[in-house]
Structure 1
Amino acid sequence: MNQQSTQLRFIGIVAVIVGIIFISIIGFKMKDIISEAVSTGTDGKTKVTIITSDVIVDQSWGSLAYKGKLKMEELFPVDVILYSEINTDKLIKDTIEEAVRNQSQVIIGHGREFSDAFTESAKKYSDIHFITLHGTSRYPNQSVYTFDQGEIEYFAALAAAKVTKTNKVGLIDSYEARIKNPEFETGLAYYKPEIKFYYRNVNSRDDGEKASKILQQLIDEGVDVVYSKGNSFNRDVIDLAKKSGIYVIGYLDDQSYMGKDHVITSVKNDVSQAYVVMMEDYFSKDGIPHGQVMLSAEHGVYSLAPFGPMLSDKDKQFIENEMNKFDKGEISFPSLK
């Protein structure tokens, strides 16, 4: 009887020990599950934060961040929070801290102005990946996605050269960038050296009134084609172009809907597509590369919109052929310097 009792006690002790081990294992597993749920969200989605200094209105730089958010949420298992009008150092730092508290795994700055703050934060939060559109990076958990649409502007210039009758072509820029981005001017000089080029800048992406005044001055000087590189102010430019009977090359998206008989083409700048590439990299086997990631036309970030009716089929085919030659390395454009 004593022997049987001893055996029962032994079995009971073993059962208790096994139970404790089993409960401990479950506890550790639950801890891992809870930890993962906090960082990825209860629905298993990765948390991402986008920060822009601009407002989110039609044709604005900030609207491209919003389009990026929509594409990311449509194509990937992510929850995205977008903060707009974060335009001071304090607001940037406070927003980063809020994103950290919200367990964001990726924080994206919609512009180079976030580079310094992200460099500071990347050092502090090594488990979060910080990305800026353009700009600089220093740490392994920092990346810069950038692109140079200049190559496509050679052929926007070719389209302008085919349309102009006065051989006077203008470019209205948002901010001074003639030396930094010479491709449109270079293309004009290459394809039609007799063209006189006029360069002006508005010093704003949105000031339609000032852009219209600049365009009127160019029209008074005989310009009959203008490449307008604005955001919101392009609507005013195209409206005046229609009234004045001149032609425009649009910017950012296909702007032919504003005046199909006056918009030659548009330099499409689908910045939102850069966000798709970011998430493709994030969910890839190797993850987001650190340092600079250079996007090309193959990523769908920039392209020329379909040509308008002011170009003949022969002209359209010639431009397409020139673009193909350039892609094959059969054409090179000399520097203006």
Structure 2
Amino acid sequence: MQTLKKLFAIFLIISGFLIITGCNNYVGTGQIQNVGMLVEGSIDDQAWGQKGYKGLQEIEKKFDVNVFYKEGIKTQQEVTEAVDEFVNNGVNLIFGHSSIYGKYFINISKSFPDVQFVYFNGGYHAENVTSLNFNSHAMGFFGGMVAGKMSDTNHIGIIAAYEWQPEIEGFYEGVMYENPEAQVHIDYVKDWSDQDTALKMYERMEDQDVDVFYPTGDSYSGNVIKRARKDGLYAIGYVSDQSYIDKETVLTSTVQHVDKLYTLAAEKFNEDELEGDILVFDFQDDVISLGEFSPVVPEDYQEKIEDIIKEYKKTALLPNE
């Protein structure tokens, strides 16, 4: 009887050790438990926010985990409260769907050492904070080439959100490379979603004979394209392939496949390969591309752009370099 008791005790000790070891191994290898996302604006903006939510849904399917999101999170206090709530729901991978989250995540990262924070297009990083950056200059360049080719008035307009957006300079360079006679009009909304301001800028540019528009914002890009369609003008889509709005109006789109990058980051985290760093992605990584071409863009010019992009993938050099 004493022997049986000893064997049973040993069994309990071994069982308990396996359970504890298993749990520690689960956390230590960085395997995903649950996933959260913070959005500065809305997931219904038809552009950046929507692509982030799609990426979150892909993670949910691929890894069979619970996912959570919160919209309109813009301050440090809101971020801290949201992260605390996520963690209480078993979240150990959190995406901040904007550059603003870099500093906020840095400020709280040491308080949540078991959480991996990921955000977009910023220069902050720490042991458990990773920045995923799109090299947007090239996509802007190729979109600018198409705009320069297709403008009849030689007046092209950029309705930008902020001055720091790399795609703006790239777009300007692409226009001038393709059409040195063109004039590029640029104005800044200073907000990702201010549709009223963006449309006022559109009207001013239309009065200046602009016939191709590049609205580089979230919620307002679709509205500008719809207005261009109504006025018989053209646009270059932004972040999403916006040809669905109107196949003729949208000459092409500069597409950032944010959803693919979400899945890639989740895979790296799950394999314990996502270290705090600043990572940069471009056409070569298949997370940036041009969207569908409008049928009004000549086929031989479409082929020219596609060939230039293939060469860029090989050399990482734009045609003006």
TM-score, structure 1 normalization: 0.85
Matched residues, percent identical?
Answer: 28
Query: How far is 1:142 from its partner?
Result: 2.1
Partner of residue 257 from structure 1, selected from 227, 231, 244: 244
* Equivalent of 1:153 in 140, 165, 172: 140
Deviations 1:94-126 (A, max 9, x none): 122222333322222212222223223322332
- Provide the C-alpha distance between the structure 2 equivalents of 1:32 and 1:104, rounded to a whole number of angstroms: 21
SS at match of 2:9: helix
- In the TM superposition, 1:159-178 aligns within 5 A as 159-177=146-164
The reply to whether residue 128 of structure 1 matches residue 115 of structure 2 is yes
Q: Does the CA-based 8 Å contact 1:107-1:128 persist in structure 2?
A: yes
1:300 — aligned with what? 286
Contact kept in structure 2, 1:39 and 1:104, CA below 8 Å: no
User: Match of 2:37, SS?
Assistant: strand
The corresponding residue for 1:15 is 4
Indicate how the Cα distance of structure 1 residues 277 and 14 shifts in structure 2: closer, same or farther if over 3 A, else same.
same
Where does structure 2 lack aligned partners over 5 or more consecutive residues? Answer: none
Distance 1:299 1:276, change over 3 A: farther
CA RMSD of aligned residues (A): 2.7
SS at match of 1:49: strand
Query: Which structure is higher in RCO with an 8 Å CA cutoff and minimum separation 6?
Result: 2
**Partners in 2 of 1:90 and 1:63 — Cα distance?**
24
1: CA distance between counterparts of 2:118 and 2:124? 8
- Equivalent in 15, 25, 34 of residue 26 of structure 1: 15
Q: In the alignment, which of 325, 330, 334 is matched to residue 311 of structure 2?
A: 325
Q: Note closer, same or farther for the CA distance 1:301–1:209 as it changes in structure 2 (3 Å cut).
A: same
Look up the equivalent residue of 1:77 and give its one-letter code.
Answer: D
Task: Kindly indicate whether residue 208 of structure 2 is the aligned counterpart of residue 216 of structure 1.
Answer: no
Task: Report the CA distance between 1:178 and its aligned residue.
Answer: 7.0
- 1:97 corresponds in structure 2 to 84
Shift of 1:176: 2.9
Using the alignment, how far apart are the partners of 1:213 and 1:314 within structure 2?
Answer: 36
Q: Is the 8 A contact 2:140 2:170 kept in 1?
A: yes
- What amino acid is the match of 2:300? K
Read off the aligned partner of 2:58 and give its amino acid letter. K
Q: Residues 13 and 326 of structure 1: is their aligned pair in 2 closer, same or farther, counting only changes over 3 Å?
A: closer
> 5+ residue gaps in structure 1?
1-11
Q: What is the SS of the residue equivalent to 1:78?
A: coil
Per the alignment, residue 312 of structure 1 pairs with 298
Moved over 4 A (4+): 30-40
Q: Which residue of 1 aligns with 2:52?
A: 65
Residues 126 and 206 of structure 1: is their aligned pair in 2 closer, same or farther, counting only changes over 3 Å?
A: closer
